[in-house]
Structure 1
Amino acid sequence: MTQQKQAQKRSLGFYSADPAQHTLLEDTQGLATGALVAALGFYFLNQVGLLTGGTAGVAFLLHYAFGISFGFLFFIVNLPFYYLSFRRLGLAFSFKTFIAIGLVSVITEIEQKFLLIQYLHPAWGALLGGLLLGYGLLALYRHRASLGGVGILAIYIQEHFAIQAGLVQLAFDICVMICAFFVVSLEIVIWSVLGAVVLNIFLAINHRSDRYIVVR
Structure 2
Amino acid sequence: MPAMQTEQITRHSLFEDVQALLVGPMFVAFAVLLFQQAGLLTGGTVGLAFLLHYLMGWSMAWIVFVLNLPFYLFAWRAMGWVFTIKTFICVGLLSLYTALLPQVIVLQSVDRLFAAVMGGFLIGVGLLMIVRHKASLGGLGVLALYFQNTRGWPAGKVQMVADALILVVGLVIRDPLSIGLSIVGALALNLVLAVNHKAGRYLGT
Which stretch of structure 1 is more off in the superposition, 73-82 or 56-65?
73-82
Shift of 1:174: 2.7
Matches within 5 A, 1:9-48: 20-48=10-38
Amino acid at match of 1:67: G
* Superposed CA offset, 1:47-66 (max 9, x none): 11111111111100000111
Counterpart in 2 of 1:198?
Answer: 188
Partners of 1:49 and 1:185 in 2: CA distance = 10
CA 1:31–1:157 in structure 2 vs 1: closer, same or farther (change >3 Å)?
Answer: closer
Which amino acid in structure 1 is aligned with residue 167 of structure 2? M
Aligned to 2:164: 174
Which residue of 2 is the match for residue 135 of structure 1?
Answer: 125
- 1:81-106 per-position Cα deviation (integer Å, ceiling 9, x unaligned): 11111111100111101100100111
| Sequence identity (%) | 39
- Counterpart of 2:72 in structure 1 is 82
* Inter-partner Cα distance in structure 2 for 1:154 and 1:203: 12
Partners of 1:56 and 1:148 within 8 A in 2: no
Task: State how 1:1-216 maps to structure 2 within 5 Å.
Answer: 20-154=10-144, 169-212=159-202
Q: Distance in 2 between matches of 1:202 and 1:170?
A: 12
Q: What is the CA distance between 1:131 and its match in structure 2?
A: 0.7
User: Rg larger in 1 or in 2?
Assistant: 1
Root-mean-square deviation over aligned CA pairs: 2.6
Distance 1:154 1:26 in 2: 24
Deviation sequence 1:177-211 (CA, Å, 0-9, x none) = 12211111110000001000000011111122234
Name which of structure 1's ranges 51-60 and 202-211 shifts more when overlaid on structure 2.
Answer: 202-211
Q: Residues 31 and 140 of structure 1 are in contact (CA less than 8 Å); yes or no, is this contact kept in structure 2?
A: yes
Unaligned runs of 5+ residues in structure 2 are 1-7
Q: Which runs of 5+ in 1 are unaligned?
A: 1-17
Cα shift at 1:155: 6.4
Asked if the contact 1:81/1:153 (under 8 Å) is kept, the reply is no
TM-score (norm 2): 0.86
Aligned to 2:142, the other structure's residue is in SS state helix
